[in-house]
A and B are shown apart, each in its own frame.
Chain A
Amino acid sequence: EAGVVQSPRYKIIEKKQPVAFWCNPISGHNTLYWYRQNLGQGPELLIRYENEEAVDDSQLPKDRFSAERLKGVDSTLKIQPAELGDSAVYLCASSLGLRGARDGELFFGEGSRLTVL
């Protein structure tokens, strides 16, 4: 069974440029998460989707970040414009449902490493 797929794996951009990350969750997983992992830190939740609905986006910087999950499957995370402080690894994860979060059964992709110059 295929795991969570993310692209691109690496992205280098100049500040003020836009960038987008794509995530394809495990088939049948209706909960999707975007996390940001700064260097030397643990992942921090940006947004969580239940199917196509964003049910927790309290940590998403809405002035420059946006996300969507059309048809409740694939998701994209966009940053426009990027700032130097956005350099991090952006992780996508999926689980079977809300219950999955309490059980800790999240399945992570390999991440997209963003460098903003």
Chain B
Amino acid sequence: AQSVTQLDSHVSVSEGTPVLLRCNYSSSYSPSLFWYVQHPNKGLQLLLKYTSAATLVKGINGFEAEFKKSETSFHLTKPSAHMSDAAEYFCVVSGANFGNEKLTFGTGTRLTIIP
């Protein structure tokens, strides 16, 4: 079984300040972890992914995330928020299960940027 818990349903930060979106995971297997972003009325877009290579992964638009196995966490960060970062962010886990792999999404974190 696998699951993800996004610890904050809503995060607000001022433009130009750091962003931290928190995610904890649970997986019976060595997981792959992802962050997806969903802008209003748009499809989900892959932001970054961890697939057992480097534990610090860099994604698009200046985002990065660090895989910490000891803490079962995969938090998403960005040094300086931009207005265009306002969106819904989903932490996602994928794990092998007798070859039937699928993605399990968290409930999402809505990021609001204050001008």
Chain A interface (Cβ < 8 Å from any Cβ of B):
3-4, 40-45, 48, 55-56, 91, 93, 98, 101-111
B42 nearest CB across to chain A (Å): 6
What are some 26 contacts across the A-B interface (CB < 8 A)?
Answer: A40-B108, A41-B108, A42-B90, A42-B105, A42-B107, A42-B108, A43-B90, A43-B105, A44-B105, A45-B103, A56-B102, A91-B43, A98-B101, A101-B102, A102-B96, A104-B46, A104-B49, A104-B94, A104-B103, A105-B49, A106-B46, A108-B43, A108-B44, A108-B45, A110-B41, A110-B43
- Across the interface, name the chain B residue whose C-beta is closest to A113: B41
Provide the bound-state CA to CA distance between A42 and B49, in Å. 17
Residues of A within 8 A of B102 (CB): 45, 48, 56, 101
> A105 and B46: CB pair below 8 A?
yes
Other than A104-B51, A107-B43, give 12 A-B pairs with Cβ distance below 8 A: A40-B107, A45-B102, A55-B100, A93-B44, A101-B94, A101-B101, A102-B96, A102-B101, A105-B46, A105-B49, A106-B46, A108-B45
Residues of B within 8 A of A43 (CB): 44, 90, 105
Interface size on B, residues (CB 8 A): 24
Residues of B within 8 A of A48 (CB): 102
Which B88-115 residues have C-beta < 8 A from chain A?
Answer: 90, 92, 94, 96, 99-103, 105-108
Residues of A within 8 A of B46 (CB): 104-106
B32 at the A interface (CB under 8 A): yes
Residues of A within 8 A of B9 (CB): 40
> A103 and B42: CB pair below 8 A?
no
Q: Which interface residue of A43, A48, A91, A105 has the most chain B CB atoms within 10 A?
A: A43
Residues of A within 8 A of B49 (CB): 103-105
Provide the bound-state CA to CA distance between A109 and B38, in Å. 11
> A104 and B107: CB pair below 8 A?
no
> A102 and B106: CB pair below 8 A?
no
- Across the interface, name the chain B residue whose C-beta is closest to A44: B105
Q: Which interface residue of B44, B46, B96, B106 has the most chain A CB atoms within 10 A?
A: B44
| Contact status of A106 and B101, CB under 8 A, knowing A3-B43, A43-B44, A91-B43 | no
